[in-house]
């Protein structure tokens, strides 16, 4: 004999909410892949140019960074910017997400800057990333770079642009 099950309104509401949550998370995960097989996920070799925030003129020679965007929205980065010497800048860690504007992403990361083993500053980078022209290229038309003292007071800020190329085998 098969027993009949009659769901209560509360149980039906809970099942509907669970189904909606699953569908939403699957849609969000799938949307990261709209730019190609990896979307932004992967490791990128990036050439960074510091810029005057008012005029947009380059400041100094470009330098290189590595950015790794992981599934789930985490970001790690390292830089070869010679301007930190003699201080030591550790790797940056942060988050990224897909923007509502087509092939555009937002990312933010923070890194510690130490001298003789003591924290002297933190660096926060906030950037917009535009994919293209292909699936293995991106540009950062604008990034904000901010430096804070160890207790969180803003010391100074600047601007940058960047061009990224996906690291592939």
Residue 167: both structure tokens together: 């690291």
DSSP code at position 82: G
Place of tokens 């004999």: 1
CATH number of 42-166: 2.40.128
pTM of the entire structure? Answer: 0.78
pLDDT by residue (tens digit) across 85-105? 889 999 999 999 998 777 899
> Does residue 119 carry a pLDDT above 60?
yes
User: Could you state, in order of their start, the residue ranges of all structural domains in the chain?
Assistant: 42-166
pLDDT by residue (tens digit) across 49-74? 999 999 999 999 999 999 999 999 99
Dihedral sign, Cα of residue 89, residue 95, residue 100, residue 103: positive
Q: Which helix (H) or strand (E) holds 19?
A: helix 9-31
């Amino acid at each position: 004999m098969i027993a009949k099950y009659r769901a209560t309104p509360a149980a039906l509401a809970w099942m509907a909410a669970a189904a909606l949550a699953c569908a939403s998370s699957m849609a969000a995960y799938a949307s990261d892949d709209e730019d190609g097989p990896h979307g932004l996920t992967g490791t990128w070799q990036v050439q960074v140019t510091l810029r005057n925030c008012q005029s947009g003129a380059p400041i100094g020679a470009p330098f290189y960074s590595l950015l790794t965007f992981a599934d789930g929205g985490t970001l790690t980065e390292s830089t070869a910017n010679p301007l930190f010497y003699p201080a030591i800048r550790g790797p940056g860690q942060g988050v990224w997400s897909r923007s509502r504007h087509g092939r555009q992403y937002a990312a933010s990361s923070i890194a510690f800057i130490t001298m003789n083993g003591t924290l002297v500053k933190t660096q926060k980078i906030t950037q917009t990333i535009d994919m293209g022209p292909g699936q293995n290229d991106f540009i950062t038309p604008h990034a904000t770079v901010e430096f804070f003292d160890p207790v969180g007071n803003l010391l100074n800020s600047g601007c940058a642009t960047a061009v990224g190329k996906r690291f592939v085998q």
